Chains A and B, each alone.
Chain A
Amino acid sequence: MTVLDSAPSITRRLVLRGAGSITLASLGIVAMPLPGALATANDKYPEDAFKQKNDKEAIKLLYGRTAEASDKIKLDAPEIAENGAVVPISVSTSLADVTSVAFVVPENPNVLAAYYKIPQGTLPNIANRLKMAKTTNVIVLVEAGGKLYSATKEVKVTVGGCGG
């Protein structure tokens, strides 16, 4: 719920996963308890983060730290959105051990658009369709190997001329 809660949760989740997968895998057991740990550790819907109007605040609330730009993240978004109501945006990355991905749209009334939790075994490639209120630099955050990375891309949004 608070900033303090989320930071330790992320750390705890990573540590559990790292330790657990080695132990259980070596026993030939499918890592069943781990997803449980993942689910309970950061189970809460980040309500406060979703209410933020400022991208730095939203990222701080969600991840408890700032991100470093990474060229290993490919953020795909149109140059000019054909319609701000449905903008196809996707991300793929070669970073290892991705645990979550978030999309932040700075000029939106609520800047955090989506937050995806990536259990082990799930690929860090996501495509979604977001609403964009204005032209802005869309930010994608990738949490990988305990660190936070980001990439940005400007998407132009204008009023449609044929609206009706």
Chain B
Amino acid sequence: MASSIRVRAIANGDVTEVQTLIQHPMDSGFIKTDKGDFIPAHYITELTFEHNGKPVFIADWGTAVSKDPYVKFAFKGAAKGDDLKVSWIDNKGESDAATFKVQ
């Protein structure tokens, strides 16, 4: 199955803008099913972006980040063609990782 991670990393001179959209339910644990049971919390807790083995952005997330989470940031020092590694882990211990090329 395809990775849950989608990334657009575009270099503009020395600054690379990164946008990411991740397929994940980000269940807060506060919502009930029709039957009245709580849907258990299931959300990404840590999301890490690495360039040349060095973390360039680390997101610690709680239950209030929207479903199919999105984040945008920018960092210096990357060039077109460089690798950007994105990885996440959630509160259930599930994880995913993928590497993308800076455009």
Contact = CB atoms under 8 A, between A and B. Distances in A.
A38 interface: yes
Interface string A104-121: 010011101111111101
A131 B70 CA distance: 12
Contacts of A147: none
B60 A122 contact: no
Interface residues of B, number: 28
Given A35-B55, A123-B15, A86 B67 contact: yes
9 contacts: A38-B55, A85-B66, A110-B63, A117-B58, A119-B57, A122-B75, A125-B73, A128-B65, A129-B65
Interface of A: 32, 35, 38-39, 45-46, 50, 85-87, 90, 105, 108-110, 112-119, 121-123, 125-132
Given A85-B66, A90-B72, A115-B60, 11 more contacts: A110-B62, A113-B62, A116-B57, A116-B60, A117-B59, A121-B56, A127-B73, A128-B65, A128-B70, A128-B71, A131-B65
